[in-house]
Structure 1
Amino acid sequence: MILLISDLHLEEERPDISRAFLHFLQTRATQAEALYILGDFFEAWIGDDAMSPFQRSIAQALRRVSDGGTKIYLMHGNRDFMIGADFCRQAGCTLLADPTLAQLNGEPVLLMHGDSLCTRDEAYMRLRRWLRNPLTLWILRHLPLATRHKLARKLRKESRTQTRMKASEIIDVTAEEVPRIMAAYGVKTLIHGHTHRPATHPLLVDGAAAQRIVLGDWDKQGWALLVDANGFQQHAFALS
């Protein structure tokens, strides 16, 4: 079986989520062939050189599962796009591009974080292009740690303020963008997170039946998508 999760937003201020994730690793993830984490794994990430003891402990927990035989794949989200090779080495995971075409149960499936699908949010898309520019990333990684911490706090505060002010359809995926990118990759299943709106949406791609599966965020409960011989099944579970 294969497991997919996203949007845990791990941080020391939410020990309930961290405990639930560690339990998830020790129980369900150790039984899986692969675990895919599709972005916003951490609430914030300002560079591998700034890893806190808490973040290192998460890396060590992932490494134990990886050493046990479960393949672990990690994709950047909009909160942790500066995760780099050093963290992945410590965690024993493989960093995926966004989007990535994966084979799940013999079917080509497109995996994304999901923020790049929100094309109606033009201000965010401009910010995203600027932040993901290789030159910008190089500059950010070479700023003093104190400056990076300050900038991260500022961006998080602004993001929360703007999200509250924007209409819900602006911060959701653009309906027309979904079949366009699915057709471009030749898939009938797209899996993403980011919107915190877990659901399976049937749609048509080039006239054929398709589906968009939105992963749930870990907040009041946890979510995991199970892929096995029975297909795609997403379940919620208590954090306690």
Structure 2
Amino acid sequence: MTTLFISDLHLDASRPHISQLFVDFVHSEATRANALYIIGDLFEAWIGDDAADATADQVAAALASLHARNVPCFFIHGNRDFLLGDAYARRARMTLLPDPSIVEIEGERILLMHGDTLCTDDAPYQAFRAQSRNPAWQRAFLARPVVERQAFAAQARAESQRYTRSIGDAITDVNAAEVLSELRQHGVRRMIHGHTHRPAIHAIDLGGDDAERVVLGDWYEQGSVLRCSGGLTALDAVR
């Protein structure tokens, strides 16, 4: 059977056609999979499990249907939905995994990461990431009224877009040395990540050993899925 990997869907109410594309994907191909791995940024923003959201309800219902078909779904937080918590995971019947995680697929150990920690050249982002992953920061943020959290998220998205336009592409891509470091640290030869929105399969020379870095695509204009079966990988569009 095939194991499916997706990331960077950035689902929200402004793109209902993409939300429906994802629901259709879950109800069709994903029902025949060995497992589905969502490697971050399932949602455009997440301000807490307690915030009402019709798109989140639609997605939770679709993912919960996989559990009913005995297809496990695993989730790694992204930089947009790092506040997604246990309550929503239970609704969607997803299993939360740490970032990074090592999974075994058909006898091979594979390193899964959202990918933002690989972008070490982007110092301002890494500083914000460290701050926002602090449990005290998260408790304080989640204690604020929903309307305040919504305003903060909207402002953060706007600032992120301005910042991204102001810096070069190299800054927002992965650092090659960091990639090698992670592969060696975890003792693996295959890495799968998202975040950069630069889908590709990269061959890597790991000191004489062949390695591979698979970058998942985003779901802004169409879907993108990595299918792993029989030791082979294929990175394809979903329409």
TM-score normalised by the shorter chain: which range applies?
over 0.9
Deviation sequence 1:50-77 (CA, Å, 0-9, x none) = 1312211210111011111100001111
2:93 maps to a residue whose letter is G
CA distance in 1, matches of 2:65, 2:29: 13
In structure 1, what is the equivalent of residue 145 of structure 2? 144
SS in 1 for 2:73: strand
Q: Does 1:221 align with 2:222?
A: yes
Identity %: 43
Deviations 1:19-41 (A, max 9, x none): 11011011100001100000000
The answer to whether the 8 Å contact 1:183/1:206 transfers is no
Paired residues of 1:179 and 1:204 also in contact (CA < 8 A): no
Per the TM alignment, residue 230 of structure 1 is displaced from its structure 2 partner at its CA by 4.7
In the TM superposition, what are the counterparts of 1:38-187 in structure 2 within 5 Å?
A: 38-187=39-188
SS for the counterpart of 1:223 is strand
Deviations 1:185-238 (A, max 9, x none): 000000000000000011122331100000010122211000111511111132
**TM-score, L = length of structure 2:** 0.98
Aligned letter for 2:100? P
Counterpart amino acid of residue 159 in structure 1: S
Distance in 2 (CA, whole Å) between partners of 1:4 and 1:114 is 14
TM-score, normalised on structure 1? 0.97
Query: How large is the Cα RMSD of the aligned pairs?
Result: 0.9
Matches of 1:205 and 1:144, distance apart in 2:
49
**2:212 alignment counterpart:** 211
Structure 2: gaps of 5 or more residues: none
Aligned residues: 238
Partner of 1:233: 234
Deviations 1:113-139 (A, max 9, x none): 001100000000000000001111111
**Uncovered stretches (5+) of structure 1, i.e. residues with no partner:** none
